[in-house]
Structure 1
Amino acid sequence: MADTKASDGPGVSGVAGRYASALFELARDENAIDSVGSNLDGFSRLLDESEDLRRLVRSPVFSAEEQLKAVDAVLAKAGIGGLAANLIRLAAANRRLFVLPDMIRGYRALVAQYKGIVSAEVRLAETPSAKTLDEIKAAIREMAGSDVDLDVRIDPALIGGLVVKIGSRMVDASLKTKLNAIRIAMKEAR
């Protein structure tokens, strides 16, 4: 594993980047990178599932004390502790909860860089089977030459096929793109 400085992380900047970098460095020093990531993922899932929690995190109407009290209750109920809980509490105390999703993304990016994991976005027309997903992951892993973290998104507008994006590289093998190319070729042939 590389001894990468968190400040060199991809796409990590500003307030969110400073919090994510500090958390990553603490987690690395305490050999808690995975447990912190797991706790942050748990809180992120709670944010995705609860409109009330999203409102608490985004709204400037709540005081720091109100946010801290509410966050403490959520963390206790969800069983989230350690460094991740400390980061969330600190963000609430400093009235920075609104950047928490960016902090979590920044932390994930730093972990991926540290572990040599490549992130890839895969868009498909329909939900793939586990076997198909494994084949896609294996193909991307072979192309990238390292482990891959897939972000799978379903986009029915593709009609069929897939679009893979790794960093600034993109491979569009969707049926929609192929049909558009045929349509353009037919217009030019007239």
Structure 2
Amino acid sequence: MLNINTLARPYAKAAYEFASAAGQVDAWSAMLALTAAAVTEPAIISELANPKLTREGKVAFLKQMCEDNIDETFGNFLRVLGENGRLTLLPTVQEIFEAVKAEANRTVEVEVQSAFELSAEQLQTLAAALSKRLDRTVEPKATVNPALIGGLHIRAGDLVIDGSIRGRLNKLAEALKS
């Protein structure tokens, strides 16, 4: 069976290439976010699952739901997805589109967990250091996790840096067990 990412990737890349060439990357990003959110709503899911509705009917329904917020070219994109029975892939297409956009812009979203709230200056200093290490523009998303006790837990894609006291205690416990 095919992986959902495998099915969604060509649509996301094509959408990004078109949006980039047209200078509408942010607009397409917003339209994808809207339609991806729409196809996860229970009422819309049940309507799209209706066997009496043709593929064209499903596309027309979705376009009607979002008509004030999508343009004609995006409507054509939805039509292609619908013709291939791929409207339910929209959340994954949107996720991959955003990843391709971030890669093209050389940006990375970094999740920073700390035991205590970080100041804006601390976040800025951390972002600058991570930007230098990752060779990308870093967009930090800070959250507070008191279970860390102290220090930071940083996740940037596949890279994880655990500088928390909880992480160090876990490593010490593992070392003592072996």
Q: Using structure 2 for the length normalisation, give the TM-score.
A: 0.71
SS in 1 for 2:161: strand
Paired position in structure 2 for 1:107: 97
Distance across 2 between alignment mates of 1:55 and 1:18? 26
Q: Deviations over 1:138-169 (max 9, x none)?
A: 33223223212456677665455432233433
Gaps spanning 5+ residues in structure 1: where? 1-12
Conserved? CA contact 1:91–1:97, under 8 Å? yes
2:153 to 149, 159, 163: 163
Q: How does 1:30-179 map to 2 (within 5 A)?
A: 30-46=22-38, 50-53=41-44, 59=49, 61=51, 63-76=54-67, 79-117=69-107, 119-124=108-113, 128=117, 131=120, 133-150=123-140, 158=148, 160-179=150-169
CA 1:184/1:14 → structure 2, altered by over 3 Å: closer, same or farther?
closer
- The structural deviation recorded for 1:128 is 4.8
Task: Give the residue type in structure 2 aligned to 1:183.
Answer: A
Deviation by residue 1:21-45 (Cα, 9 ceiling, x = unmatched): 2212211221222221232233344
Structure 2 residue 20 is the aligned partner of structure 1 residue 18: no
- Which whole-Å CA distance do the structure 2 matches of 1:153 and 1:47 have between them? 29
RMSD across aligned C-alpha pairs, in angstroms?
Answer: 3.5
C-alpha distance in 1 between matches for 2:153 and 2:112: 5
Q: CA deviation at 1:51?
A: 3.4
Q: Contact conserved, 1:23 with 1:83, CA < 8 A, in 2?
A: no
User: Which residue identity does 1:98 align to in structure 2?
Assistant: T
Matched residue of 1:76: which SS? coil
Cα offset, 1:180, TM superposition: 1.4
Matched length: 173
Letter matched to residue 52 of structure 1: A
Q: Secondary structure at the match of 2:163?
A: strand
Moved more, 165-174 or 103-112: 165-174
Residue type of the alignment partner of 1:22: A
- Equivalents in 1 of 2:116, 2:45: separation in Å? 27
Kindly provide the amino acid, as one letter, of the partner of residue 122 in structure 1: E
Distance 2:124 2:171 in 1: 29
Instruction: Write the distance in 1 (CA, Å) between the matches of 2:61 and 2:77.
Output: 15
Aligned-residue sequence identity (percent) comes to 22
| Aligned equivalents of 2:44, 2:93: Cα separation in 1 | 16
Distance 1:82 1:66, change over 3 A: closer
